[in-house]
Amino acid sequence: MIQHDPITKEPYIRLPAPLSHIILTPPRLEEDITNNNNNNNNNNEAGNPPTGDLSAAITALNDPRVFLWLEGPPYPYLADHASSFIRRSHAECQRILRSAEQEQEQGKWADGCPFTDIRDTSLPSPSPSSGPVESGDAKSIAQASKIGDFKVVRYPFYELARGSDEQRDARLRNEALTAGDEAIEWSVGFWLAPSHHRQGIMSAALQSIISEWAIPRMNAWTIGACTFVENTGSKKTLEKCGFVFQETIIQGSAELPEAKGGGRRDLHVLKWRRNI
Ligand SMILES: CC(C)(COP(=O)(O)OP(=O)(O)OC[C@H]1O[C@@H](n2cnc3c(N)ncnc32)[C@H](O)[C@@H]1OP(=O)(O)O)[C@@H](O)C(=O)NCCC(=O)NCCS
């Protein structure tokens, strides 16, 4: 169920017990949690991400237990990388949320998922001076520490030759489909801070995103994912949520920097298909 912080009005999803201390929220800028301005309609790419969110991303994405499994983020992962990623993601998610409100009223579908941040409400606040000073649940939501990241995007067709015309055309066709079209192929990617690995969090988060948003608000029917073949944790997480192994792509990754092991890595593609 989508809930709203009574003070900031930020929407969030709470994971089911025994993980109810974990919530999923859109990306935040300082103003979302300090001004108490009920402003979920801004499209601000210039604001500052909360320092706690920046340091959570920087710490995790410089930790080999995380970055060695991710092709995309640069390494070393610097403050500028984190800051511009959060700002871009904030603008995109605010756009989705803004249009999702109107879309729901008009019986239309959302064009993506705004719940990208995984947060732990049981941890001490990373910046005790910020956030609303109300007591109880609302305070812990606005100040909940970021522990991971989740992204839903249009599927990039990993199985087609990287950079080929065929892959480019497939992406363009998929991106041109209107929100809610059953033919859209979506894709997920995620990471979690090592302090929170192996507690069932990512599989519960993925299940919640699928059942609380991707099905009812996006009308998603197909979701793909791609892992390095050695990434047992990611594959088991996906399989637990109903994803099924499709194929291995030999040397399917980009050329990796030395810090990530160098060379090109073999990939596994998995897909989730909605049962009617
Ligand atoms: C992959 C990752 C997101 C898993 O998150 P998590 O919250 O630890 O996963 P869960 O606790 O929900 O575990 C789901 C299943 O996978 C298994 N699992 C998780 N990590 C595992 C590991 N390293 N080795 C073997 N199995 C693992 C769990 O045992 C569980 O299966 P079970 O219920 O049958 O016991 C996390 O390890 C991570 O962030 N890794 C680094 C980044 C990454 O790999 N991202 C994905 C890139 S494709």
Backbone angles phi, psi at 38, to 5 degrees: 55, 30
Check whether 128 has a pLDDT greater than 60: no
What's the rounded mean pLDDT across residues 36-51? 64
For ligand 1, what atom is nearest to the CA of residue 70?
47
Domain, as residue range, for 176: 2-32+47-127+141-273
CA 89 to chain centre: 9
Show the tokens assigned to 271.
């897909």
Whether 165 maps to a domain, the answer reads yes
For ligand 1, what atom is nearest to the CA of residue 202?
7
Whether 37 maps to a domain, the answer reads no
Check whether 133 has a pLDDT greater than 60: no
Element (H, E) at 252: none
Amino acid identity for residue 233 in this structure: G
First to last CA, the chain: 20
* Cβ within 8 Å of residue 91, ≥6 positions away: 43, 44, 45
- Distance, in Å, from the CA atom of 213 to the CA atom of 205, rounded to the nearest integer, reads 11
pLDDT of residue 45: 58
For ligand 1, what atom is nearest to the CA of residue 204?
12
- Distance, in Å, from the CA atom of 241 to the CA atom of 221, rounded to the nearest integer, reads 14
Q: Whole-model pTM?
A: 0.93
Whether 104 maps to a domain, the answer reads yes
- The pLDDT tens digits for 13-23 are 999 999 999 99
Check whether 62 has a pLDDT greater than 80: yes
Show the tokens assigned to 160.
């087609």
pLDDT of residue 44: 54
Lowest mean pLDDT among 85-94, 100-109, 150-159: 100-109
Q: Which of 192, 210, 265, 266 has most ligand 1 atoms within 8 Å of CB, for mutation?
A: 192
Whether 70 maps to a domain, the answer reads yes
Whether 40 maps to a domain, the answer reads no
Answer with the residue of higher pLDDT: 275 or 45. Answer: 275
Check whether 39 has a pLDDT greater than 50: no
What's the rounded mean pLDDT across residues 176-181? 96
Question: Using CA of residue 181, residue 94, residue 131, residue 198, what is the dihedral sign?
Answer: positive
What's the rounded mean pLDDT across residues 50-70? 97
- Distance, in Å, from the CA atom of 21 to the CA atom of 196, rounded to the nearest integer, reads 12
Show the tokens assigned to 156.
């990039």
DSSP 263: B
pLDDT of residue 136: 58
Mean residue pLDDT across the chain = 91
Q: Which of 71, 198, 209 has most ligand 1 atoms within 8 Å of CB, for mutation?
A: 198
pLDDT of residue 138: 67
pLDDT of residue 58: 98
Backbone angles phi, psi at 115, to 5 degrees: -95, 95
200 touches ligand 1 (CB under 6 Å):
yes
Show the tokens assigned to 246.
């499709």
pLDDT of residue 41: 47
Answer with the residue of higher pLDDT: 238 or 101. Answer: 238
Check whether 35 has a pLDDT greater than 80: no
Q: How far is the CA of 65 from the centre of ligand 1 (A)?
A: 11
- The pLDDT tens digits for 230-258 are 999 999 999 999 999 999 999 999 999 99
**b/e map of 148-171 (b: 16 or more CB within 10 Å)?**
bbbebebbbbbbbeeeeeebeebb
Confidence band of 135 (pLDDT split at 50, 70, 90): very low
Check whether 159 has a pLDDT greater than 50: yes
pLDDT exceeding 70 applies to what percent of the chain? 89
Domain count, the chain: 1
Q: CB–CB of 234/254 below 8 Å? A: no
Q: CB–CB of 265/228 below 8 Å? A: yes
187 touches ligand 1 (CB under 6 Å):
no
Whether 112 maps to a domain, the answer reads yes
Q: What is the CATH number of the domain that holds 57?
A: 3.40.630.30
- The pLDDT tens digits for 183-231 are 999 999 999 999 999 999 999 999 999 999 999 999 999 999 999 999 9
Whether 74 maps to a domain, the answer reads yes
CA 250 to chain centre: 26
Confidence band of 32 (pLDDT split at 50, 70, 90): confident
- Distance, in Å, from the CA atom of 261 to the CA atom of 187, rounded to the nearest integer, reads 25
**b/e map of 212-235 (b: 16 or more CB within 10 Å)?**
bbbeebbbbbebbbbbbeebeebb
Checking phi first, is residue 163 left (phi over 0); if not, alpha (psi -120 to 50) or beta?
Answer: left
Whether 38 maps to a domain, the answer reads no
